[in-house]
Chains A and B, each alone.
Chain A
Amino acid sequence: MSDKKSVDYSAFPDAQGHFGPFGGRFVSETLIGALDELQAMYSSLKDDPEFQAAFDYDLAHYVGRPSPLYLAERLTAEAGGARIWLKREDLNHTGAHKVNNTVGQALLAKHSGKRRVIAETGAGQHGVATATVAARLGLECAVYMGAEDVKRQSPNVYRMKLLGAEVIPVESGSKTLKDAMNEAMRDWVTNVDDTFYIIGTVAGPHPYPQLVRDFNSVIGREVRAQSLEEFGRLPDALVACVGGGSNAIGLFHPFLSDSDVKMYGVEAGGEGLASGHHAAPLNDGVPGVLHGNRTYLMEDDDGQIIETHSVSAGLDYPGVGPEHAWLKDIGRVDYVVADDQEALNAFRMLTRKEGILPALESSHAVAYALKLAAGMSPEQNIVVNLSGRGDKDIFTVAAIDGIEV
């Protein structure tokens, strides 16, 4: 931990996709050819000025970037400490940070000449973002979604169908996000000749954790510039929710070498860590192998992956991106939890105090920021990644309130 200043974060992952002991490529030989092809294509394009220009253009004109950095004054007053700034990823087209990555991967898909894209989705945000870019590029699109999630998230299912995507309910395993990812991998290995797999988070086999991070790092780069403009220095702390961890790594990565910037990744505490009903592998899991990478996992004594719980479907995942696992172990980022109740309280508070309805995922970050701010001084600045808007969650919240919408 003492030498964290000397770590060259840009050197990770290594050529085999490792972040220290985490990451890598734990897949059947049947998938290696497809991953090699993707990696070769990404390596040749990622520093290509033409590709970068196309990505930047889409972010500006299709996604609507840069997203604002907003000083939440009434929220700050409520916490009674450091100033709380919100990075407004909720204002992106489709309403979340997910589209940064799907726009980038869609450019890769287009470059590959494949006519079909597939995706896995939990709450449906990544599925919607994928169906959106597929519609724009005229690509066939199939989205795998756990049968349980299809029932719970019917508005997003319909959005995807309106966009022309086929939504395939997954009946295997626990019928949730992890099973949707298994099924998407099976589709990909079978149809690799004409299909591009757009993974939605910084997990999965190399090179996915790297490329999803790179596409989302626009968030942190903008926050750097906006912080200097708004308050003349870098933030004192960054806060983001962590399910798979794509919005968090997107915010954190451009700041990793700035050792004065503290970082907090907020996992879903569900009904509390002690209850066992949560989705906090970095706080209460162990290292293992799932979905093509080594990372912290929620598993039982036999090494079987267990079901997780969170009020927020987007955080309801038993693993986490391997770079987060590594950043935890080297002590660069603090991984903390906010439970269901704290997230719901933050959801209501932000809505009432600022007129911003946050996604339940992002509400976990807001909940922790409120606590963190209270212990800091009014001259200090916290940036919270408001990774998505909460319109999709009003049914969940209404149900908790006993109201039928």
Chain B
Amino acid sequence: MTQDNRIDRRFARLREEGRKALVTYLVAGDGGPENTVPLMHQLVTSGADLIELGVPFSDPMAEGPAIQRGHERALEHKTSLRKCLEMVREFRREDGQTPVILMGYANPIEKMGAEQFADAALEAGVDGALTVDLPAEEAGQLNGLLSERNLRNIFLLTPTTSDERIRAITGLASGFIYYVSLKGVTGAGNLDPEAVRTNLEHIRGFTELPLCVGFGIRDGASARAVSEAGDGAVVGSVLVSAIGEAADGTAARDAVAQLVGEIRGALDA
């Protein structure tokens, strides 16, 4: 990759500053489509470094209950992939720096057409994509289309990924690696920071990409624990739960501000 993009620049800057990345996830359209872009700005103000914008899908097979409900709420507002791209475009009017990654499932992209999606993502100001149900074996076409447009392909690695697969996946991945810290679905518990450390050290033998750790991070302490060996923490379920419980957009922003602020503080302490 010859050109850098917002994701690369952000990790370079964090490395210079000796800080850990805080990657935050929310489902586009959750809590009402009009509240998504203000929530994205709030995440940044409160200390998020990267935003993963979840694209709602009717069958989010890899998600735990909290994020499933986020998808369902967003679909009640008919939040399509097209609308998600419009939200990113709107976000970019005020924020040209914060990297935005679309995280979702293959079928809405297939429906739009992979090439149309890649064009639209670039045009909207998206920086990368993580398509949960496109493992390395099936990701080739979309990967190529995104790479040609200087967009990054984020992949998951797990505690059960074999060395052979780690080699294949890190060969395809760009931007950063999302390390899934435990077996299960998003929002699960039982995080073991020592196991995370061992696995991350192993993965560093295969790639120089930044390693961010997600699944099971619910507060400042757990974020700090996992990010010590990694380059950042991914926080999703607790934010989506807070948005689901909030009475309105203002309450959602307040709740998110408090959670992200606390985690940012713990990461920087």
Q: Which residues of A contact B (CB under 8 A)?
A: 16, 24-34, 36, 172-174, 178-179, 182, 185-186, 189-190, 192-193, 287-292, 297, 299, 301-306
The answer to whether the Cβ of B33 comes within 8 Å of any Cβ in the partner chain is no
| Given contacts A189-B185, A305-B58, A29 and B81 within 8 Å (CB-CB) | no
| Given contacts A29-B156, A33-B160, A302 and B108 within 8 Å (CB-CB) | yes
Partner of A289, one of B58, B133, B185: B133
| Given contacts A25-B135, A189-B185, A289 and B180 within 8 Å (CB-CB) | no
Partner of B62, one of A16, A28, A299: A28
Q: A residues within 8 A CB of B157?
A: 29
- Indicate the size class of the contact surface on chain B: 35 or more
Interface residues of B in 150-189 (CB under 8 A from A): 155-158, 160-162, 165, 169, 180, 183-185, 188
A189–B183 CB distance below 8 A:
yes
A289–B110 CB distance below 8 A:
yes
Task: Say how far A55's CB is from chain B's closest CB, in angstroms.
Answer: 29
Q: How would residues 128 to 153 of chain B score, 1 for a CB under 8 Å from any chain A CB and 0 otherwise? A: 00001111011000000000000000
A172–B68 CB distance below 8 A:
yes
Q: For residue B83, which residue of chain A has the nearest CB?
A: A302
B161–A33 CB distance below 8 A:
yes
14 contacts between A and B (CB under 8 A): A29-B156, A30-B180, A172-B65, A173-B72, A186-B184, A192-B183, A289-B105, A291-B59, A302-B78, A303-B108, A303-B111, A304-B75, A305-B58, A305-B107
Q: A residues within 8 A CB of B137?
A: 16, 24-25
B81–A30 CB distance below 8 A:
no
The answer to whether the Cβ of B61 comes within 8 Å of any Cβ in the partner chain is yes
A30–B183 CB distance below 8 A:
yes
Partner of A303, one of B61, B81, B160, B185: B81
B135–A299 CB distance below 8 A:
no
- Report Cα–Cα, A305/B72, bound state, in Å: 12
Closest 3 pairs (CB-CB, A-B):
A303-B111, A33-B160, A303-B108
B61–A27 CB distance below 8 A:
yes
Q: A residues within 8 A CB of B77?
A: none
Q: For residue A32, which residue of chain B has the nearest CB?
A: B135
Q: A residues within 8 A CB of B108?
A: 302-304
Interface residues of B in 177-230 (CB under 8 A from A): 180, 183-185, 188
Q: A residues within 8 A CB of B106?
A: 26, 289
Q: A residues within 8 A CB of B134?
A: 26
A27–B133 CB distance below 8 A:
yes
| Given contacts A289-B110, A304-B108, A29 and B82 within 8 Å (CB-CB) | no
- Report Cα–Cα, A182/B63, bound state, in Å: 9
A288–B160 CB distance below 8 A:
no
Q: For residue A24, which residue of chain B has the nearest CB?
A: B138
The answer to whether the Cβ of B249 comes within 8 Å of any Cβ in the partner chain is no
Task: Say how far A154's CB is from chain B's closest CB, in angstroms.
Answer: 25
B188–A190 CB distance below 8 A:
yes
- Report Cα–Cα, A192/B60, bound state, in Å: 19
Task: Say how far B85's CB is from chain A's closest CB, in angstroms.
Answer: 12
Partner of A304, one of B57, B65, B180: B57
The answer to whether the Cβ of B112 comes within 8 Å of any Cβ in the partner chain is yes
Q: A residues within 8 A CB of B59?
A: 173, 178-179, 182, 290-291, 305
Q: B residues within 8 A CB of A29?
A: 135, 155-158, 161, 169, 180
Q: For residue A172, which residue of chain B has the nearest CB?
A: B68
The answer to whether the Cβ of B47 comes within 8 Å of any Cβ in the partner chain is no
- With a 10 A CB-CB cut-off, give which of A32, A174, A185 has the most chain B CB atoms: A32
Q: How would residues 84 to 127 of chain B score, 1 for a CB under 8 Å from any chain A CB and 0 otherwise? A: 00000000000000000000011111111000000000000000
The answer to whether the Cβ of B244 comes within 8 Å of any Cβ in the partner chain is no
Q: For residue B65, which residue of chain A has the nearest CB?
A: A172
- Report Cα–Cα, A291/B61, bound state, in Å: 8
Q: For residue B156, which residue of chain A has the nearest CB?
A: A29
B161–A289 CB distance below 8 A:
no
10 extra A-B contacts, CB within 8 A, seeds A27-B61, A173-B72, A299-B111: A26-B134, A28-B61, A29-B161, A33-B162, A172-B65, A172-B69, A172-B72, A186-B61, A291-B59, A301-B111
Task: Say how far A382's CB is from chain B's closest CB, in angstroms.
Answer: 37
Q: A residues within 8 A CB of B135?
A: 25-29, 32
Partner of A182, one of B61, B132, B162, B180: B61
The answer to whether the Cβ of B261 comes within 8 Å of any Cβ in the partner chain is no
- Report Cα–Cα, A188/B135, bound state, in Å: 18
Task: Say how far B71's CB is from chain A's closest CB, in angstroms.
Answer: 9
Q: How would residues 45 to 66 of chain B score, 1 for a CB under 8 Å from any chain A CB and 0 otherwise? A: 0000000000011111111110
Q: B residues within 8 A CB of A288?
A: 107, 110-111
The answer to whether the Cβ of B80 comes within 8 Å of any Cβ in the partner chain is yes
Q: For residue B139, which residue of chain A has the nearest CB?
A: A26
Task: Say how far A146's CB is from chain B's closest CB, in angstroms.
Answer: 13
- Report Cα–Cα, A24/B133, bound state, in Å: 11
Task: Say how far B244's CB is from chain A's closest CB, in angstroms.
Answer: 14
Q: B residues within 8 A CB of A178?
A: 59
- Report Cα–Cα, A29/B160, bound state, in Å: 9
- Report Cα–Cα, A174/B134, bound state, in Å: 24
B107–A303 CB distance below 8 A:
yes
Q: For residue B69, which residue of chain A has the nearest CB?
A: A172
Q: A residues within 8 A CB of B72?
A: 172-173
B132–A28 CB distance below 8 A:
yes
- With a 10 A CB-CB cut-off, give which of A24, A29, A33, A172 has the most chain B CB atoms: A29
Partner of A189, one of B107, B111, B184: B184
A289–B162 CB distance below 8 A:
no
- Report Cα–Cα, A186/B61, bound state, in Å: 7
